[in-house]
Amino acid sequence: MSDPLPSVVAVPRLSRPLPKPVAAAKPSWLAVHGMTMATSAAVTLAVIVRAFLVLSRDFPLNDGALFYLMAKELGDNGFHLPATTSYNGAGIPFAYSPLGFYLTAFLHTVVGIGLPDLLRILPLVFSSLCVIAFYLLARELNASRATVVAALCTFAVLPRSFLWLIMGGGLTRSIGFLFAILTLWQVHRNRSTVLRRCAQAAVSSGSWSPPPWSPG
């Protein structure tokens, strides 16, 4: 006679409560907005440094007499580019980038702003815009926001980055430098599309390169 099978006693399973998901720590306000504040502070610092040097004088810095006369001659000539300028009676070709002259002549002739004031304010404005353009280029070249802010702060106070731009002669230099930085930014940003890159670079660089002369 076979032994009876032992009875199997069901042992109740101990139910363990599932661990509660740990909520991710929210980043601090400073961590979220710190770099934005640092970037804004660097741009503000750049504008203050440039504005102090320009606005503390009541006359264009260093140079600009040639550009003063060229802007005046452009307005007097009905906004047609003369072949030469009468500066010092030397018959200097009207070969500078004309965008600054057109803008100055328009604001002087139509709006009525004095030429000496324009040769102070416009270089200041375009030199300040160069800081923003530099930020766009730096952000495109480097993914580290801390590095971008450090570069921007350096560019903001580096004298060689703005001294020649805020002078009276910066009427053309500041605009040319601005479009040069924007050109590099667009070329790098669209480097994967050759045709688009070339087109945007040509349009941007053409905005500050001198066109053929047009006789008055």
pLDDT, one tens digit per residue, over 181-208 is 999 998 888 775 655 556 666 666 555 4
Mean pLDDT of 142-168: 90
Tell me, yes or no, whether 20 lies in a domain: no
Domain span including residue 106: 35-206
Q: How far apart are CA 172 and CA 103, in angstroms?
A: 11
Does 160 fall in a domain? yes
Of 211 and 149, more confident: 149
Residue 9 included in any domain: no
Domain assignment of residue 27, yes or no: no
What is the rounded CA–CA span in Å between residue 116 and residue 124? 13
| Residue 215: band (very low, low, confident or very high) from pLDDT cuts 50, 70, 90 | very low
The larger pLDDT score, comparing residue 140 to residue 190, is at 140
For residue 79, give the nearest of 63, 98, 92 by alpha carbon: 98
| 164, part of any domain | yes
- Per-residue pLDDT for 212 more than 50? no
**With bands split at pLDDT 50, 70 and 90, how would you rate the model's confidence at 213?**
very low
- Given a contact cutoff of 8 angstroms between Cβ atoms, the answer to whether 50 and 124 are in contact is yes
What average pLDDT does the segment 136-162 reach? 90
Whether 213 maps to a domain, the answer reads no
Q: Between 170-189 and 194-206, two packed helices, what is the crossing angle to 10 degrees?
A: 170
pLDDT at position 143 is 82
Domain count, the chain: 1
Return d(Cα 50, Cα 179) in angstroms, integer.
19
Length of the chain: 216
87-91, 98-102, 120-124, 172-176: least confident range: 87-91
Angstrom distance (rounded) from CA 153 to CA 131:
10
Residue 118 has pLDDT above 70, yes or no: yes
Asked if residue 195 is part of any domain, the answer here is yes
pLDDT for res 52: 94
What are the tokens at 156? 């903001």
Helix, strand and coil percent figures for the chain, each rounded to 5: 60, 0, 40
Give the residue from 102, 128, 100, 105 showing the smallest Cα distance to 115: 105
**In terms of pLDDT, which residue wins out, 68 or 23?**
68
Is pLDDT above 60 for 214? Answer: no
12 within domain boundaries: no
H/E element, 84: strand 84-85
Rounded Cα gap, residues 178 and 25, in angstroms? 42
